[in-house]
Structures are given as structure tokens and as C-alpha cells.
Structure 1
Amino acid sequence: MRVIISGGGTGGHIYPALTIARAINEIEPSDILFVGTKQGLEADIVPKEGFPFATVDAGGIERRLTLGNLRALLKTFAGLLESFAVVRRFRPDVVIGTGGYVCGPVLLAASLLGIPAVIQEQNVIPGVTNRILARFVGRIAVGYAEAANNFGANRDKVVVTGNPVRPEILTATRESGLRDLGLSPGKLTVLVAGGSRGARSINTAMADVHARFAGREGIQILHATGSAEYNNIVGLLAERGIDVTKTGNISIVPYLYNMPQALAAADLAVFRAGAIGLAELTARGIPAILVPYPHAAENHQEFNARVLESRGAAVVIRDAALSGPRLADAIDALLGDRARLTAMAKASGELGRPEAAAAIARLAIDLAGGRPN
């Protein structure tokens, strides 16, 4: 089987695409071509993962008339012509899009050429590109059942698969996670992360959290600040006279390169509400305090977070309402109520879909099997 997978711009689109590719190869070894842009992270990440990679032009379009929109439309038209050429040359049996502007021209070209296509929508609120593509593709794989109604007349194409997570997220053990990160097996572990670039509002609030929990028995905090925010948070703590290296229970790092191990060690997480981060939390059954990124398109992170909250798997604090004392109180309340923490973990695990990548792979393979010869 021959497959084109398109997705890019952020790791949240690229890593799920790679996970789906590997799931396809496990079910049916295939020739897989990734299509992205020259400027996106995918141009660096995908070739390093050993997959062939082709590029087309693509740009984001705002919902208003601007000179930038005109340039983006011209770039998208050029990308569509390039996409026709790539698709004709590779002759795929199926095309899969995992998000990002590049999916628009690639999946549209494939659909217009009569090639079956699948889009993977990670969020409760679909992006503009996927709403447009929904009219053309054969199947829509969604991360949340709540997303189905947002595809309107195309909801009959929707299949609830969940969002794909890396296999290592599922295979890491608590014991290895605690050992690799230098954490104590006898303490409850709070994992704090605001994404690869960090989240200033969370980091600032964490100064109060660290001040309250420094040296407390039975609790340890692993806080990934993001590279740009690390000096800021360490400086805030120094101003309060807190030497993290002497607390015995606080570890602050710029970035977590071993997130699977960190998740395996966590008893509670403080996170943003990106779809893939939530998929990883629920795959591991981790209770969470979620602070949705307030500037996400159409506020989709809050909609994602509210799904977990409604099922009892998370507590949501809006970014505008976040403060150090409020976050510290929320963490204190959950860590002090083991029955509630256990119930939240159970609810989180029930939301998890660890087989999502395989489900999307089978969906694409089945769709490709329906092509006329």
C-alpha cells in the first residue's frame, strides 16, 4: 500500500502523524511519504525519523480581509498545484491529514483526483482547514465524541478514534520513570508543564506553589518551565529566598526530553489543554489541573479541558483566573484527598484511547481497500 501523510507546523501535528505511520506499517508494511512545508518543524523532524519527505507551499488564512490573507491565498494556490504534482507522482492509495495549513492543499488535491482521504481532528472544536476538508474527504477521525456535532452535514463521516499517542507513553513504567528522573518512590509526584515553550502564567503561579510545598514530606514536584522561562522562575524563587537544590522535593528543569518517563511517574499533572497532551494524560490515567491556553483558535483548549472536567478527570482553572494561591490551593486539596485523586485517575483512564493510532491506521487501510482498480 502507498500512503501520503500530511501534517505540520507544530509537534502536535507531526508526532501523531509519525505514530499513525508506524501503526500502519505494523498492520500492513507500506510505502509512506510525508508532505509538509520547508519552514515547518516537520522538515527537520520527519527525515530524522527515516521517512521520505516532500514539501509544498502553504499559509494560514485569517477570517478577515488583509494583505497577509491575499499572500496566503496565493501561496495556498501555488501549494495546491504542487500538491497535484506530488500526489500524481507518488500515486497513493490513501492520504491522511493530521493538521496544519499544509493539509489543505494536499488533501484537497488528493480528493479532487479521486484518492480516498482521512482527516484527523484532535480538538473538540475543529480548525478552519478541517471544516473545509470535511466536505471532500471520506472519513473524519476525531479525538473526542463531542467534536462530531461540529462537522454539521458531514458528521456521518465521523469516526471516534481518540488521539494517537506515542507507544513509549504507554510502555514507560512508574519505577523506571522515578529512577530515571531521580525522584523518590515514596512520594506523590506533581508534574507541571506548559508545553515546549512553557507557559508564563503557570510558571508565575508556580512560584507560590513551590513556596508552599518546599520541604513538605510525602510530596515532590517536577516542573518543566520551557527554555525561555527557566531563568524567570528560578529568579522568582531566589527573590523569595528559596534554594530549590536544598528543598529535597522540588526539581525545576527547562525542558523534559523524557516526557514518557515523567508521565509514568506522575500522580497529578498541571498542564495546558492541547489535544495530544490530554491524550497522553488520559492514556496513562493521570488526574489533572488544566489551565487552557487562552489564545488558542476558537478557544479550543478550554473546550478540550471541559470534556475532562465533565467526566471527573480534571479540574479546570481559566488562565484569566489563575493565581499562585489558587493553584496551590487546588494542588493541596487534591493531594490531601486520596479518594478523590483515585476517582479522578479512574475517570481519566476511562477517557484514554491507547489504541487510537491503530484505529486510525485501520480506518485508512479500509478506506484504501475500497478504491476501484
Structure 2
Amino acid sequence: MRIVVTGGGTGGHIYPALALIRTIKQRYPETEFLYIGTQKGLEADIVRRENISFEAIHITGFKRSLSFENIKTIFRFLKGVKDSKTILKKFHPDVVIGTGGYVCGPVVYAAAKKKIPTIIHEQNSVPGLTNKFLSRYVDKVAVCFKEVEEFFPKNKVILTGNPRASEVVGTRKPGILKALGLKEGIPTVLITGGSRGARPINEAVLKSLSSLSRRPYQIIYVTGQIHYDHVMEEASLLGKQSNIAIVPFIHDMQKVLTSIDVVVGRAGATSLAEITAIGIPSILVPSPYVTNNHQEKNAQTLVEHGAAIMLLERELSSKQFLESLDSIMLNDEKRKMMGDASRKLGMRDASERLTNLMFQLVNHRF
């Protein structure tokens, strides 16, 4: 089988695509892949490092306000469709799947017009403009949250989950905490604002460091590269905290996730897929700087099922942060209940579901 995968702009669109590709390669090693992205997007570097064939088109997103730039975007879209048709004709795929981002628009639209089986994958609880547009033309819409189904044609929607969930499931790996200077067997919380960090989360944690250093649990605190020096300067004033490991970035987050008990972080779709697949309770601080405030809606789904506590960034304080963290870390029963609720939301077989959907679609069409 020959498969075109497209998606880009953020890791939340790229990493699920790569997880899906890895699953299919394991089950069907003879499958050929072509990834279509943009030259300036993160995907250009990330996908090529995975030794996956890559082609680029030029496309930008629409502005939500009236703008002359939107007229340019229409012309870029039309050219992108033309370029995509040329690439598709050359590669001759059996199926095309888009995992989100502007680049999916012309690629998936071109495939649909060429009568190639098509799927889009929506990771969030609120769809982006591109996927809402494409849902009218594709054969199937794969989703991760039941709440998003109402935005798409009912006859096309399939609940599959996020392929990243399938990659993080595993047993607790010994040595991870020790490598960070912490102890095994002590409840551990991971605090992270993402790869670049999040200033409001960092501010709340910094104001809480003195109190955290006296807690009976331990902390892995990921500051983000750009905040690390400032955080370490502030932390040094308190002296060494034996129960707190401060790092700028964690490259193998999957291994760390299987070694911790609670996560404090943003509410991106991929992150939530990972923590629910393992069954980790969470304190979520949604980013308010995302389209349609979708992170808050993502987080609300976990809150409603008893798997998370949500703290809004505009209300975040050291006191609120500490009270929320203590309420989970100092209560074994609550932590277990939230973990069980989280696990029930997780879809560990997401990659397999999406893979099966693709092959069923191709076999049905041909």
C-alpha cells in the first residue's frame, strides 16, 4: 500500500502522524509513505529526521479578521491544490490522511477531487477551520473526543483516539528518577509548560518552591529552555532542594511519564492523549492563546470525568497551585480515583483503530 500523510505547523499535528506511520510500518513493513508538509513548518525537519520521504508545498492560514492577506491565501490554496495534484499523480497513493494544520487543506482537498480515499484526524475537542472545511469532502473523520462529533457530518465520524497514546503505554521504567537525582518509590509530580515553557506556570512554581521543598513528595520541574537560567537563578537563592529536579527540557518524555504519578501542564490534545493512555491524574492550565480556546475545552472533558483539576491561567496563583497539588499528592485515594478516571478516557489502541480504518476504507473503495 502507498500512503500520503500530511499535517504540520505544530507538534500536535506532526507527532500523531509519525506515531501512525510507525504503527503501520510495524504491521505492514512493505507500505510506502510520502509526507507532504511545508518547507518552513516544523515538519520539514522532524519528518526528514525520521527518514520518511518528504515533499513541500507553500500555503498559509486564513486570518480571522478581514485582511488583504486572506486574498493571497486563496491564491496560495489554489496553487497548493495544483501542486498537490502533481505530487499525488506521481506518487499514486491508495489513501491520504491529514492530521491537521493549514497544509492539509490543499493536499486532502486535491486527493478528494481525484477520488482518492481520504481521512482527516481531529485531535482537539473543537475543530480547526481546515478540518471543518475538509469534512465536507473526505470519506471519514477520525476524532479523539466525542464532544467534537457534533461539528462534523454524522455518517463520517469515527472515534479512534490519538495515535500518540499507543506509543507511551508501558511499564514503569526503573532508573528514570534516579538519573534526575530523585528517589524511587516516592510519589512524584511532573510540572511542565511544554518545550518552550509557560511563563505563568513558571511564576506560580517559583513562588511555591520554598513550600514545595518541604513536601513529602518530589517534583520534576521542566522550565522550558528560554526560562531555565532565570528559574535556576531564583532557585539558587533557596539552596539545594533534594526533592526537586529542575531541568530545561526532557527529550524522552514518554519514559518519564511512565515514572510519575501526577502531571501539571497545558491541555494540548497530544499531551492529554499520552497521560490518559497511562492513566495519570493531572492539573491542567490551558493555554488561552490557541484557536477557539480549544485547550480549555479539552481540559474540561477530563475535569467532567474526574480525571483532572483545571486552573485558568488568568486566575493562577501560588496558593491555588499548592492547594490543588496537595489535594492530589497528599491523598492516595483521590490520586488513585483520578488515575482510574484518566485511564478510562485513554484510548491505548488509537494507532490500531486508525490503521484499521484506513485499510477498511481502501478495501471498501476498491
Asked if Structure 1 and Structure 2 have the same fold, meaning a TM-score greater than 0.5 normalized by the shorter chain, the answer is yes
Aligned residue for 1:264? 258
Tell me the amino acid that sits aligned with residue 242 of structure 1: L
Identity %: 41
Distance across 1 between alignment mates of 2:303 and 2:322: 19
Partner SS for 1:265: coil
Aligned residue for 1:62? 63
Distance across 2 between alignment mates of 1:48 and 1:166: 21
Tell me the amino acid that sits aligned with residue 161 of structure 1: T
Deviation at 1:71, TM superposition (A): 2.4
Moved more, 168-177 or 358-367: 168-177
Deviation at 1:168, TM superposition (A): 4.7
Tell me the amino acid that sits aligned with residue 233 of structure 2: G
Match for 1:277 among 253, 271, 276? 271
1:222 corresponds to 2:224 = no
Confirm or deny: 8 A CA contact 1:172 1:261 kept in the other structure.
no
User: Structure 2 matches for 1:141-220, cutoff 5 A?
Assistant: 141-151=142-152, 154-165=153-164, 168-171=167-170, 173-216=172-215, 218-220=216-218
Aligned residue for 1:318? 312
1:139 corresponds to 2:140 = yes
1:242 corresponds to 2:238 = yes
Distance across 2 between alignment mates of 1:28 and 1:365: 11
Unaligned ranges ≥5, structure 2:
none
RMSD over aligned Cα, in angstroms? Answer: 1.4
Distance across 1 between alignment mates of 2:172 and 2:179: 10
Aligned residue for 1:10? 10
Distance across 2 between alignment mates of 1:211 and 1:182: 18
Distance across 1 between alignment mates of 2:178 and 2:363: 46
Deviation at 1:183, TM superposition (A): 2.4
Distance across 1 between alignment mates of 2:22 and 2:362: 17
Question: In structure 2, do the counterparts of structure 1 residues 306 and 221 end up closer, same or farther at CA, with 3 Å as the change threshold?
Answer: same
Moved more, 267-276 or 57-66: 57-66
Tell me the amino acid that sits aligned with residue 5 of structure 2: I
Partner SS for 2:70: helix
User: Structure 2 matches for 1:298-309, cutoff 5 A?
Assistant: 298-309=292-303
User: Structure 2 matches for 1:108-123, cutoff 5 A?
Assistant: 108-123=109-124
Confirm or deny: 8 A CA contact 2:166 2:350 kept in the other structure.
no
Deviation at 1:155, TM superposition (A): 2.2
Tell me the amino acid that sits aligned with residue 5 of structure 1: V
Tell me the amino acid that sits aligned with residue 225 of structure 1: T
| Deviation sequence 1:47-81 (CA, Å, 0-9, x none) | 11111111111111022221222222222222111
1:76 corresponds to 2:77 = yes
Match for 2:289 among 288, 295, 298? 295
Confirm or deny: 8 A CA contact 2:196 2:224 kept in the other structure.
yes
Partner SS for 1:73: helix
Distance across 2 between alignment mates of 1:265 and 1:336: 18
Match for 2:336 among 342, 346, 361? 342
TM-score by length of 2: 0.96
| Deviation sequence 1:236-276 (CA, Å, 0-9, x none) | 334xx312xx2101111111112112211111110100000
Moved more, 36-45 or 18-27: 18-27
Distance across 2 between alignment mates of 1:254 and 1:354: 29
- Structure 1 moving runs of 4+ over 4 Å: none
Aligned residue for 2:25? 25
Deviation at 1:334, TM superposition (A): 1.4
Aligned residue for 1:361? 355
Distance across 2 between alignment mates of 1:298 and 1:168: 28
Confirm or deny: 8 A CA contact 1:24 1:361 kept in the other structure.
yes
Question: In structure 2, do the counterparts of structure 1 residues 179 and 247 end up closer, same or farther at CA, with 3 Å as the change threshold?
Answer: closer
Deviation at 1:157, TM superposition (A): 0.6
Q: Number of residue pairs matched?
A: 365
Confirm or deny: 8 A CA contact 1:172 1:260 kept in the other structure.
no
Tell me the amino acid that sits aligned with residue 303 of structure 1: K
Unaligned ranges ≥5, structure 1:
none
Confirm or deny: 8 A CA contact 1:176 1:261 kept in the other structure.
no
Moved more, 257-266 or 114-123: 257-266
Tell me the amino acid that sits aligned with residue 16 of structure 2: P
Deviation at 1:176, TM superposition (A): 4.0
Deviation at 1:164, TM superposition (A): 1.3
Distance across 1 between alignment mates of 2:181 and 2:174: 11
| Deviation sequence 1:273-313 (CA, Å, 0-9, x none) | 00000000001100000000011100000000000000000
TM-score by length of 1: 0.95
Distance across 2 between alignment mates of 1:155 and 1:275: 22
| Deviation sequence 1:185-210 (CA, Å, 0-9, x none) | 13110101111111111011001222
Distance across 1 between alignment mates of 2:145 and 2:246: 33
Tell me the amino acid that sits aligned with residue 288 of structure 2: P
1:231 corresponds to 2:229 = yes
Moved more, 169-178 or 111-120: 169-178
1:88 corresponds to 2:85 = no
Deviation at 1:167, TM superposition (A): 5.1
